Chain A
């Protein structure tokens, strides 16, 4: 007998900043719309476990789309004539998320994004607080410098392998090998220059340090960061959360790619947040709310050398 995942994939046409993008998305479930944002240079497959989890999809319509140039969403026609390298901007990213939600007629969705998808949640809270009912920022913070570097897109370097290997160590060593190497594979499949271009948003164009205190608190923001994340450390997330009104912060024993690197551990920390979102939803859209058994949540855890000649130099031939 054939086995299928419950995920259905489709394409929707999204117009943003004067161009129309044929945009791939996957979805499963019914209830509160939960729009999932992939990390830089990756695609919606990062959420395949959540899309297949009945504990989530019984209360949420889980939707994961691929940004233009990512996954199965193509670049805009004429991309080969672009005179500057691809750079994701804060305004495009934020507006595209909004236009995607409108294209699907989503009413006050919840947005859950990780890494750059977590950081953009801050902009969504600043610019579009009336459009969303809650924001879940995975591995998010107000400023994450240092990642927009040339070797990530260089003709003498294998982009896929270099990009994927660069992010591998962001995952917790105890996350299952199967899922860590699956995440590596997503990264190795990214288009040329796309990871680097996304990191323009992540490290250059999105310094929210002087803005986050302006978030009104109308939309609850849930921050969730793994202790092995060295790009967005627990301290960076906690420092950001302290400045954001109506926010919560959970630090757990994971890494930078919680949805894909260790879905079971992620579920432990995500479920209490989803339960709060269901309980606080004014229209009780999560009508199928289950009585989830209490799950364990990992508690907060929160020179001049070498050149001198040595007469008794030791050397080993192997």
Chain B
């Protein structure tokens, strides 16, 4: 095991544990008060659709369907990248979504309506950091 910790399996059960951690967080309601959106967390070939309402995860769906009527934005990265990102002490270049998305590194794709993403970045950033407590 490296100093950065062991690899995790990022699957639906893991996403659920993370979502419950987000919903239990004491700070998230303040940061996410206006965070109402549906976004995709892409892990390898699997898309997880998360419904956010006032900073809480209301629903998670594995895979996308036409009746979803789309989503606002997506963060897609290989499972290996999310696994490193979510370690207690993530390694350099995997410790932040901007590190992973930077043109120099290209681990993460941010797609869709970037305006919604930027408007809610503070809350997004906070909830993603809670992956390290799952």
Interface residue ranges, A against B (CB under 8 Å) = 145-146, 151, 154, 156-158, 161-162, 165-166, 168-170, 172-174, 227-228, 230-231, 233, 303, 305-310, 313-318
Secondary structure of the B contact surface, majority rule: mixed
A313:B23 contact, CB within 8 angstroms = no
Taking the complex as formed, is B10 at the interface, i.e. its CB lies under 8 A from any CB of chain A? no
Q: Select from chain A the residue with minimum beta-carbon distance to B95.
A: A173
Taking the complex as formed, is B20 at the interface, i.e. its CB lies under 8 A from any CB of chain A? yes
B92:A306 contact, CB within 8 angstroms = no
Interface residue from A228, A305, A313, A318 paired with B42 (Cβ < 8 Å): A305
In the assembled complex, the CB of A227 is this many whole angstroms from the nearest CB of chain B, namely 5
Secondary structure of the A contact surface, majority rule: loop
Interface magnitude class on chain B: 35 or more
B118:A145 contact, CB within 8 angstroms = no
B104:A173 contact, CB within 8 angstroms = no
Taking the complex as formed, is B125 at the interface, i.e. its CB lies under 8 A from any CB of chain A? yes
B119:A157 contact, CB within 8 angstroms = yes
In the assembled complex, the CB of A149 is this many whole angstroms from the nearest CB of chain B, namely 10
Assembly CA distance A303 to B42 (angstroms): 11
A230:B92 contact, CB within 8 angstroms = yes
A173:B90 contact, CB within 8 angstroms = yes
Interface residue from B42, B59, B93 paired with A315 (Cβ < 8 Å): B59
B65:A165 contact, CB within 8 angstroms = no
A–B complex contacts, Cβ < 8 Å, 18 sampled: A145-B104, A157-B115, A158-B122, A162-B121, A166-B98, A169-B99, A170-B96, A173-B90, A227-B92, A305-B42, A306-B40, A306-B64, A309-B65, A313-B61, A313-B62, A313-B65, A315-B59, A318-B23
Assembly CA distance A227 to B95 (angstroms): 11
B97:A315 contact, CB within 8 angstroms = no
A317:B59 contact, CB within 8 angstroms = yes
